[in-house]
Chains A and B, each alone.
Chain A
């Protein structure tokens, strides 16, 4: 009668199982922390826009100030995506019949808005206010990256709660004089010293809140 004998290589089974038992939870942890983090899921969102409008051309090359179009960014919570009329200030006379501007001319003729796609979007339970930041020395670049180098805008920051709080607890890292708010090339780290930025905290009376009700109201 022949008995079943485990083959010799079965001895390897135990170390293999131990190895797998140790690495698979690590792997799963990594998968969740790295793969499901807002830096993966949110950063880089770049919806297709109805008009091939380029910030790299208008804000970068031509140097038009952000506030020329985003008129409410220093007055209200909402920055405002410009109405068609703003484009027409120039485009009634500059390339009015360009095929790239057909949607703009259509919108001007019908009075219906251009359907720009939202890029940055907080969940509806969070409150954000542009003017509170922009008038106190937090520049566009701290939260939107080098928009003046983007052909099509995409999200460069996670916009997660952790990211908001990181700055609210240590604002001096990102502060700049209010005159440089829309100057995206101005880098706080190289163009101002830590002491200068500390002085701005006193000058602009900055005391960011991390009470829940600041952002969840």
Chain B
């Protein structure tokens, strides 16, 4: 028969063995739960070098920015473009109806416009431009809540881009709205490059055409096929029904 050591020794040994199980449990827990204590640096190596990367704070300046703001009134190289058509969408005191010099209309440009529109404009205007984007829906719900608009919400319905008054806007006017905003809508000058804003304007005009097209806008060779197709015009079309249209209207349509 094996004789066992005294009780207290077994007890201490047992506790020690149990204690060994604690670190793995702690580690497993740490792995499973996100918290602010992670990103432990055991060896610092050259992880933190005395240099500033993009958007890193800099305690030397009162505003804490390492990227200094340009002096008021300064113009970056290449941005002092005197081409008013390109920068404002105005030609001879009237809204431009054509693209500025340097930008050419082609499929790639239209697709770029569609992609950028879907990123920057659909949240409010919806994929097909009927003004029924998710943010607009949420904001309108806040406006009509039973106890009045929450926390000072004052939202104006995002315009349908197929509203007759909005369809009146020429290419240059749409470019200007995308750049500087209009009434309660903010401008997208800071977020979207100038070429992309022209591409968006072109796409908006195309989108308007696509929702208000007549048979004359369709190339002659496919008209017959359309006439015999069973699809009927849906007068109550919404963005949900016409999600992300892919048809590119004829290029001459975009004036």
Contacts from A to B (Cβ < 8 Å): 7-9, 11-12, 27, 30-31, 34-36, 39-48, 61-65, 67-68, 71, 77-78, 80-81, 83, 85-86, 88-90, 92-98, 111-113, 115, 121, 123-125, 154-155, 179
CA distance A206 to B122 in the complex (A): 31
- 27 residue pairs of the A-B complex, CB under 8 angstroms, read A7-B3, A9-B4, A12-B4, A40-B27, A41-B38, A41-B40, A42-B38, A44-B33, A45-B36, A46-B36, A62-B135, A63-B134, A65-B119, A67-B119, A68-B119, A80-B54, A93-B155, A94-B153, A96-B152, A96-B154, A98-B150, A124-B48, A124-B49, A124-B51, A125-B46, A125-B47, A125-B49
Q: Is the pair A97, B152 in contact by a Cβ cutoff of 8 Å? A: yes
Given A44-B31, A62-B134, A94–B38 Cβ distance below 8 Å?
no
Pairs of residues from A and B, 7 with the lowest C-beta to C-beta distance, nearest first: A45-B38, A154-B34, A123-B47, A46-B34, A95-B151, A124-B49, A89-B186
CA distance A64 to B123 in the complex (A): 6
Given A45-B38, A93-B139, A124-B48, A40–B30 Cβ distance below 8 Å?
yes
- 10 more contacts with CB within 8 A, not counting A9-B5, A123-B47, are A46-B35, A62-B135, A62-B138, A63-B123, A71-B192, A81-B55, A90-B139, A113-B64, A124-B48, A154-B34
- Considering only residues 40-65 of chain B, those with a C-beta below 8 Å from chain A are 40, 42, 45-49, 51, 53-55, 57, 63-65
- Considering only residues 122-139 of chain B, those with a C-beta below 8 Å from chain A are 122-123, 134-135, 138-139
Chain A at the B interface: SS class: loop
Q: Is the pair B34, A9 in contact by a Cβ cutoff of 8 Å? A: no
Q: Is the pair B38, A65 in contact by a Cβ cutoff of 8 Å? A: no
Q: Is the pair B151, A98 in contact by a Cβ cutoff of 8 Å? A: yes
In angstroms, how far is the closest chain A Cβ from the Cβ of B16? 10
Q: Is the pair A64, B135 in contact by a Cβ cutoff of 8 Å? A: yes
Q: Is the pair A78, B134 in contact by a Cβ cutoff of 8 Å? A: no
In angstroms, how far is the closest chain A Cβ from the Cβ of B147? 14
CA distance A47 to B23 in the complex (A): 24
Q: Is the pair A44, B142 in contact by a Cβ cutoff of 8 Å? A: no
In-complex Cβ contact of B152 among A62, A95, A121 (8 A): A95
In angstroms, how far is the closest chain A Cβ from the Cβ of B164? 25
| Chain A residue with the shortest CB-CB distance to B149 | A95
CA distance A80 to B56 in the complex (A): 11
Q: Is the pair B30, A44 in contact by a Cβ cutoff of 8 Å? A: yes
Contacts of A42 in B (CB 8 A): 38-39
| Chain A residue with the shortest CB-CB distance to B39 | A45
> Is B74 located at the chain interface by the 8 A CB criterion?
no
In angstroms, how far is the closest chain A Cβ from the Cβ of B150? 6
Q: Is the pair A93, B27 in contact by a Cβ cutoff of 8 Å? A: no
| Chain B residue with the shortest CB-CB distance to A16 | B13
Contacts of B40 in A (CB 8 A): 41
Given A12-B2, A63-B123, A39–B184 Cβ distance below 8 Å?
no
> Is B20 located at the chain interface by the 8 A CB criterion?
yes
> Is B191 located at the chain interface by the 8 A CB criterion?
yes
CA distance A70 to B207 in the complex (A): 26
Contacts of B123 in A (CB 8 A): 62-65, 68
Binary contact track B154-184/A, C-beta < 8 Å → 1, others 0: 1110000000000000000000000000001
Contacts of A154 in B (CB 8 A): 34
Q: Is the pair A113, B63 in contact by a Cβ cutoff of 8 Å? A: yes
Contacts of A179 in B (CB 8 A): 115
In angstroms, how far is the closest chain B Cβ from the Cβ of A76? 8
Q: Is the pair A44, B153 in contact by a Cβ cutoff of 8 Å? A: no
CA distance A35 to B119 in the complex (A): 42
Q: Is the pair A31, B23 in contact by a Cβ cutoff of 8 Å? A: yes
Q: Is the pair B153, A40 in contact by a Cβ cutoff of 8 Å? A: no
CA distance A45 to B39 in the complex (A): 6
CA distance A48 to B37 in the complex (A): 10
Given A35-B27, A95-B151, A112-B63, A80–B39 Cβ distance below 8 Å?
no
CA distance A112 to B61 in the complex (A): 11
In angstroms, how far is the closest chain A Cβ from the Cβ of B5? 4
- Considering only residues 83-131 of chain B, those with a C-beta below 8 Å from chain A are 115, 118-120, 122-123
Contacts of B142 in A (CB 8 A): 94-95
Q: Is the pair A27, B35 in contact by a Cβ cutoff of 8 Å? A: no
